[in-house]
Chain A
């Protein structure tokens, strides 16, 4: 971990918190460096930046956002931000790829192994299980990556995060943001039940985010 990355991360996160007026509310969990998966609703390109900025500095350096490769590889600046700033885990989104069902499955399994690999050390992940940005009113159905992670790593803390107002600040399709205040709620950890099915776990995860909406 280079010193300059720490400095840049501090500057960027402070600026983000200043301009968005973002405040974090932790209920039932604490901002510690425990290995976990933060999963949040996704409505804006700013989501990753804001969530990441609200983590304490030492936790932030250990937390890697999972992001779409085709978006973050599209320009030199984005590549720099994804690699040098966020240390993001870049994956190809299965449903964005055109082609055979078998290649979709291959992409999904490759994305999953990339996440597992990223968690081999003590890194945590930031995940948007909807897979893509929604309209801000209702969440899309969750992808199953969250469930598979929970199965592969028993006892892993899954922290639900609700990002409020980001869809109003920079909605999908808009170029210019408006300066509203952001609030981010972190909830109590979710664990996979012993005999719990995929659908029931994903439904519970979705509900956990909705619960944080006040």
Chain B
């Protein structure tokens, strides 16, 4: 395992630490002298989110800095935990037991092994083709036909979103981009932009939000939050061009694509949560909910960013 001591990566990291320091200070200042219970709850949640951000950033920084293997292990673990939350929330039958065992303990390790070994061809079709066909077969062999199509579709969807889509983030490490080294920075760029966009949409939504985009799906998503968050985060993305193979304009365009996809991911996962009657996918990350609540935007943004980069820059 080679530790990456890339100057640009260190700059990006320092920027993130700076942001967290600012967020922590603001949270502390906002919390002083507030007695109103409703406001108190919002500020407490804000501070819990910031604390969790420190932890998440530290974990991510260590994974990225430890080179390819660290990032791949981290994302494999996130896929595992996300699929666990997803399937917990999705009713499956007794007949799916062994199918699910395969998904958790065979498909996830195998798929991430393909990422680690840079086997792009099989990486891109393992889940959409082979696992897609395997899931109904294994469940059919178990002999339970009740809601067969529905159950199969749920498992396929969970594996596509939690494993296949999410894995396109560490898959960035396998791209060979002429004249560019240190793809870890590209991974950092994706995660930073998509998470900043989430945070900024939250901040703009809480401060200026009036008009709801889809009140039945997600009452917290407003046009003001969306436009403010996406614009700011795309501009920040453009400002990070120096760490990517892109020109400033291209970096801005990529960031915009990432943000729009990230927003879509968040919206679709909210639809699932509303349908199942829950607020969050889990309770693992204080203030945020579950792993799936945190990576919903990455799961939609990663494949699109991966393929845009692969198509235009390799």
Contacts and interface: CB of A to CB of B under 8 A. Distances in A.
Contact of A181 (B80, B88, B98, B100): B88
Q: Is the interface of A mostly helix, strand, loop or mixed?
A: loop
Interface in B52-86: 80, 84-85
Interface residues of A, number: 14
Contacts of B98: 174, 176
A121 to B, nearest CB: 36
A24 to B, nearest CB: 11
B94 interface: yes
B276 to A, nearest CB: 11
Contacts of A21: 84, 282, 284
A74 interface: no
A167 B91 CA distance: 12
Contacts of A179: 80, 84, 104
B101 interface: yes
B211 interface: no
B88 A171 contact: no
Interface string A161-179: 0000101100100101011
Contacts, number: 31
Interface in B76-113: 80, 84-85, 87-88, 92, 94, 97-98, 100-101, 104
B298 to A, nearest CB: 21
A178 B97 CA distance: 7
Contacts of B87: 178, 180
Contact of B283 (A23, A136, A171, A180): A23
Interface in A150-170: 165, 167-168
B94 A180 contact: no
Contact of B94 (A171, A176, A181): A171
Given A21-B84, A171-B94, A178 B104 contact: yes
Closest A-B pairs by Cβ, 6 of them = A181-B88, A180-B88, A178-B100, A179-B84, A178-B101, A171-B94
Given A21-B284, A167-B94, A181-B85, 5 more contacts: A136-B94, A179-B80, A180-B87, A181-B88, A181-B282
17 contacts: A21-B84, A21-B282, A23-B283, A165-B88, A167-B94, A174-B97, A174-B98, A178-B87, A178-B100, A178-B104, A179-B80, A179-B84, A180-B84, A180-B87, A180-B88, A181-B88, A181-B282
